[in-house]
Structure 1
Amino acid sequence: MKRLFVILITCILFIGCSKQQILSGNSKESINLQNEEFTNESNRENENKMQMNVKVGDRNFIATLKDNEAVDVLVEMLKETGITIKMSDYAGFEKVGALETNLPTNNQQITTQPGDIMLYQGNQIVLFYGSNTWNYTQIGHINNLSGWQEALGNGDVTITLSLEEKVE
């Protein structure tokens, strides 16, 4: 009787372990499929990223643009010609300049970082060299901040926005 009981328990454990291996295998396959989907999605995002030149005085900076309706409209404008904007200093952490038109907004409460480019009230471009928390629509971010604050300097500056080729 003990022998039969031990054999029965062994069989149950064996069946339980093999089910676990099958589930494990399926889980690994599922994880691999999820990773592949994530990689494909990331590749699609990188393929669609646009870049914009931000010329401040004689310095040129490259910004990676966000994917939203405001950026889509801005890109269409930039396909026709560059946009020159006179920027004024505000509160020692940002430069603000008016566009000649309104862009669609998708405002969110955001804490900005140096290099962020935002849309304020639908018709003002804001370049950050400091930090602020407010409602903005994200436009993009400067890729390399080396010399960014110095280029923006004190007082008013004039910037020119133009399109950069797609990231490969």
Structure 2
Amino acid sequence: MKLKSLLTVMAVLFVLSFCNAGCGNDNHTAPQDNKNENENTNTNSASKMKITIGTAVFTATLYNNPSAAALRAMLPLTIDMAELNGNEKYYNFPSPLPANASIGGDIKPGDLTLYGGNVLVLFYKSFNTSYSYTKLGYIGNPAGLAAALGNGNVIVKFENK
């Protein structure tokens, strides 16, 4: 029952994020090509972030997009991330970040995303999804990530590298 309630809340947040995006400033321009701006991995402007879970330390590369920039501006950040579905940890921010979601497709361990406008998600298992996420970045070497995250809630520290 608890999982059903959580999924209902996440679905409501997801719908509200679209309502909020649709009611926002119409002063934006559409991309000129098929490249998704969520995944702009221009190495000249990509930045690194350190993620610490207990004694384990991982390095993440943040994408060059407004969502990742908003996350970076919040650093350092120490949060209690909750378990969901045996493949991810998540945290609900009190305020939304900029979002530009696209269909998740193939999720890989170490993918760092935003669900809706305010749910930070760190994946630790591979799978395919039809849910939409805003891509924030990824852990380049996620070996040991699942073990470090463990079962249940976990304290995770994000900081500039």
Question: TM-score if structure 1 supplies the norm length?
Answer: 0.66
* 1:45 shift after superposition: 2.3
1:93 to 72, 76, 87: 87
For 1:121 and 1:45, locate their aligned partners in 2 and report how far apart those are by CA, in whole Å.
24
Report matched runs for 1:61-100 at 5 Å.
61-78=58-75, 82-100=76-94
What does residue 17 of structure 2 align with? none
3-state secondary structure, aligned to 1:105: coil
What does residue 116 of structure 2 align with? 121
Q: Deviations over 1:21-71 (max 9, x none)?
A: xxxxxxxxxxxxxxxxxxxxxxx9222110111111221110001111111
- Work out whether residues 85 and 160 of structure 1, in 8 Å CA contact, stay in contact via their aligned partners in 2: yes
**Post-superposition, which runs of at least 4 consecutive aligned residues in structure 1 deviate over 3 A?**
none
For 2:143 and 2:116, locate their aligned partners in 1 and report how far apart those are by CA, in whole Å.
29
1:103 to 83, 97, 105: 97
* 1:105 shift after superposition: 0.4
3-state secondary structure, aligned to 2:78: strand
What does residue 39 of structure 1 align with? none
- Work out whether residues 85 and 98 of structure 1, in 8 Å CA contact, stay in contact via their aligned partners in 2: no
For 1:154 and 1:77, locate their aligned partners in 2 and report how far apart those are by CA, in whole Å.
26
Q: Deviations over 1:80-131 (max 9, x none)?
A: xx11111111011111112232100001001211110001121111110122
The one-letter amino acid of 1:73's match is A
For 2:115 and 2:42, locate their aligned partners in 1 and report how far apart those are by CA, in whole Å.
25
The one-letter amino acid of 2:62's match is L
3-state secondary structure, aligned to 2:74: helix
For 2:128 and 2:84, locate their aligned partners in 1 and report how far apart those are by CA, in whole Å.
11
3-state secondary structure, aligned to 1:75: helix
| RMSD over equivalenced CA pairs, Å | 1.5
For 2:44 and 2:115, locate their aligned partners in 1 and report how far apart those are by CA, in whole Å.
27
Report matched runs for 1:1-168 at 5 Å.
45-78=42-75, 82-111=76-105, 112-130=107-125, 131-133=127-129, 134-164=131-161
For 2:119 and 2:157, locate their aligned partners in 1 and report how far apart those are by CA, in whole Å.
14
- Work out whether residues 55 and 61 of structure 1, in 8 Å CA contact, stay in contact via their aligned partners in 2: yes
Q: Deviations over 1:127-160 (max 9, x none)?
A: 1012241110001100111211100111110101
**Unpaired runs of at least 5, structure 2:** 1-40
User: Which structure has the larger Rg over C-alpha atoms?
Assistant: 1
| Larger strand fraction of residues | 2
**Unpaired runs of at least 5, structure 1:** 1-43
Count of matched residue positions in the alignment of Structure 1 and Structure 2: 118
| Larger helix fraction of residues | 1
- Work out whether residues 85 and 99 of structure 1, in 8 Å CA contact, stay in contact via their aligned partners in 2: no
- Work out whether residues 73 and 103 of structure 1, in 8 Å CA contact, stay in contact via their aligned partners in 2: yes
